């Protein structure tokens, strides 16, 4: 067994995000961070010097990408899986972010009461599937990250709202074909909603959407133009490249 496997209880791979700006270790098997957490982090807005939290932070991909773009923010990640939380702490330390990022081992549906109404932004990459529409993956970490109960989405939104200050911002990335469920969960809780489609290629239907909403507001919903991720040859578009490789903000 390797030294890393002994430390984390699983085989670990070493890699980078944002074109090498972020060092990132993750479990070799199970859930593997792709571009979704990078796009989510690029969408987060918060006032200078503010606080932002991620519910279900995994090994810390989105947290670290946000910290690379906004080193002024104080960040908190809540993660229920002990192995993922330990990997997140190790990644935070490896990137020299320990003074700005705290990782808490705990249930995102039951955050500490002391954290309520203390954040200017909360961001979430929740499980996209339910047992009714997907066969659960064999690895526990991936199962937790990708498959949830039918009523979990409402719980993710409720937990985020509890952490947010009045008029503060929730940002989520989710499946486009379940957008109606997310909007239903936000109804009566938030407004000034922006729906930002992520188009795989020009002319193809969106598979993911980023949704931004502000707690307690009643302003109308806006459908944004969105982002085309790939050219016809499969390479990233210029805008996607700047966001994914250079760490630019994604303007919703």
Longest distance between any two alpha carbons in the chain, whole Å: 55
Determine what percent of the chain falls in helix, strand and coil, rounding each to the nearest 5: 30, 30, 40
Contact yes or no for 175/165 (Cβ under 8 A): no
Instruction: Say what the pLDDT of residue 128 is.
Output: 84
127-183 pLDDT tens trace: 986 655 545 545 454 444 444 545 799 999 999 999 999 999 999 999 999 999 999
Calpha distance 224→27 (Å, rounded): 35
Instruction: Say what the pLDDT of residue 156 is.
Output: 97
Closest CA to 56 of 74, 28, 29, 36: 36
Q: Which of 124-128, 150-154, 216-220, 245-249 has the lowest mean pLDDT?
A: 150-154
| Whole-prediction pTM | 0.90
Token pair for residue 20?
């090498």
Section 202-220 average pLDDT: 97
Reported as a pLDDT band with limits 50, 70 and 90, residue 1 is very low
Token pair for residue 64?
């670290």
Collect all residues with Cβ–Cβ distance below 8 Å to 208 and sequence separation of at least 6: 36, 39, 173, 174, 175, 176, 197, 198
**How do the domains of the chain map onto residue ranges?**
3-244
Collect all residues with Cβ–Cβ distance below 8 Å to 58 and sequence separation of at least 6: 26, 31, 33, 37, 79, 81, 84, 88, 125, 145
Contact yes or no for 204/216 (Cβ under 8 A): no
Instruction: Give percent of the chain above pLDDT 70.
Output: 88
Look at 129 and 230; give whichever has higher pLDDT.
230
CATH of domain 3-244: 3.40.50.150
């Amino acid at each position: 067994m390797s030294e890393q496997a002994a430390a984390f209880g699983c085989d670990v791979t070493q890699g980078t995000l944002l074109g090498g700006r972020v060092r990132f270790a993750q479990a070799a098997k199970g859930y593997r961070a792709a571009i979704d957490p990078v796009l989510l982090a690029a969408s987060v807005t918060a006032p200078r010097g503010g606080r932002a939290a991620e519910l279900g932070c995994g090994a810390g991909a989105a947290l670290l990408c946000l910290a690379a773009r906004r080193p002024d923010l104080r960040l908190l990640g809540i993660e229920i899986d002990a192995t993922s939380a330990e990997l997140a702490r190790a990644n935070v330390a490896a990137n020299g972010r320990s003074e700005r990022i705290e990782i808490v081992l705990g249930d995102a549906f039951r955050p500490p009461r002391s954290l309520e109404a203390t954040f200017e932004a909360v961001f979430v990459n929740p499980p996209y599937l339910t047992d009714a529409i997907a066969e659960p993956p064999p690895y526990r970490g991936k199962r937790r990250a990708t498959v949830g109960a039918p009523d979990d989405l409402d719980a993710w939104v409720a937990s985020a709202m509890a952490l947010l200050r009045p008029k503060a911002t929730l940002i989520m990335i989710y499946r486009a074909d379940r957008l109606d469920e997310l909007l239903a969960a936000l109804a009566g809780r938030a407004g000034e909603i922006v729906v930002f489609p992520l188009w795989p290629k020009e002319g193809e239907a969106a598979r993911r959407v980023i949704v931004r909403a502000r707690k307690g507001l009643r302003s109308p919903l806006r459908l944004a133009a969105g982002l085309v991720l790939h050219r016809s040859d499969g390479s990233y578009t210029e805008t996607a490249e700047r966001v994914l490789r250079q760490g630019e903000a994604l303007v919703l």
